Amino acid sequence: MTLRRHLILVLTFSMVLGACAQDQPAFSVKKYTKTEDKNDFLVTIHTSLGDMKAVLYDETPLHRDNFLKLIKEGAYDSTIWHRVIKEFMIQGGGIDMKPNAPKKADRIPAEFDPRLFHVKGALAAARQGDRVNPEKASSWCQFYIVQGKTWTKDELTLDQQKLNAGIGKLLQNDKHLALREELIAMQEKRDFDGMNRLVMSKASLVESELGISVRKDVSQDRIDAYTTIGGAPHLDDAYTVFGQVVEGYDVIDKIAATKTIREKPIESLYLSIEVEEVPKKKLSKRYDISYPEK
């Protein structure tokens, strides 16, 4: 096999993997921070395609309080969902994109918590890329809600970079000529899903022949959520999750399905947000929210 074909194969293995999204149940929200308040905040995001309701995490107080402040000021009213990517996320909150936008505020320091991750319905803060924002600080106004897709356990726990590198080493050995030719044939047919499945099935072979591990540690909570409800695991521990949708999952799907040009909906989808204080007992019963015992 020529070096060029070998490189093409290795690059092809780097494709993002994922299964098709199905109808998912709502995510059961767990809150960990103990508070004495009897009430909690319930956020309602109004859109032309329906309403979504979300709760905010006490574990991310800077993001929570900033979001509440902007809501109470009416700053999000008449903004749009300006970036939509099906099976990934819907992004809004472009206060800074308004004609008479307020003076740019400071970024919000990242508030990562391993217990908060990008399951479907996760409410998280947008941010600039690592090159100009190595501290991963959040935008002061823009947010996104995850749609994502469902994943298999192997897709979540296999270290794709290590596996790809391992497969690349195996392909250099004529002992694996059959595997090499099978992958080439799939590539020529553009059967990338088949290639991904075949590569993942060879994880044990890579580990035994090269004496390396191609697995990574993923918590059982994340595995359970991503294999049933779905989400965007590649964003975990890099973007701050500060809330979770508890009602209106179908609205996420409707917005994500809208037609776009360069990720912007062709037809403007406006939003407004309001917040109310609701007794925790009521929220717990209605949305299966688990609050810590005092």
Q: Residue 3's pLDDT is what?
A: 36
Q: Token pair for residue 11?
A: 């690059």
For the chain, the structural domain boundaries read 3-17+153-210, 39-100+117-128+137-150+236-286
* Structure-model confidence comparison of residues 18 and 60, the more confident one: 60
CB 206 within 8 A of CB 214: yes
Among 183, 182, 207, smallest CA distance to 11 is for 183
Q: Residue 294's pLDDT is what?
A: 65
CB 141 within 8 A of CB 70: yes
Spell out a b/e string for 168-204, using b for 16 or more CB atoms within 10 Å of the CB, else e: bebbeeeebeebbeebbebbeeeeeeebbebbbebbe
**Ramachandran angles phi, psi of 234, nearest 5°:** -70, -10
Q: Residue 227's pLDDT is what?
A: 97
In this predicted model, what pLDDT tens digit does every residue of 231-290 receive, in sequence order? Answer: 999 999 999 999 999 999 999 999 999 999 999 999 999 999 999 999 999 999 999 999
Q: Which CATH number fits domain 39-100+117-128+137-150+236-286: 3.50.50.60, 3.40.50.300, 3.30.70.360, 2.40.100.10?
A: 2.40.100.10
For the residues 197-222, what does the mean pLDDT come to?
96
In this predicted model, what pLDDT tens digit does every residue of 129-144 receive, in sequence order? Answer: 999 999 999 999 999 9
Among 49, 62, 17, smallest CA distance to 243 is for 62
Give the length of the chain.
Answer: 294
Q: What percent of the chain is predicted at pLDDT more than 70? A: 90
Q: How far apart are CA 122 and CA 118, in angstroms?
A: 5
Please check the confidence at residue 11 and state whether its pLDDT lies above 50.
no
CB 276 within 8 A of CB 42: yes
What pTM was estimated for this model as a whole? 0.86
Q: Residue 103's pLDDT is what?
A: 64
> For the chain, how big is the Rg over CA atoms in Å?
22
Confidence at 109, pLDDT banded by 50, 70, 90: very high
Least confident of 96-110, 118-132, 269-283: 96-110
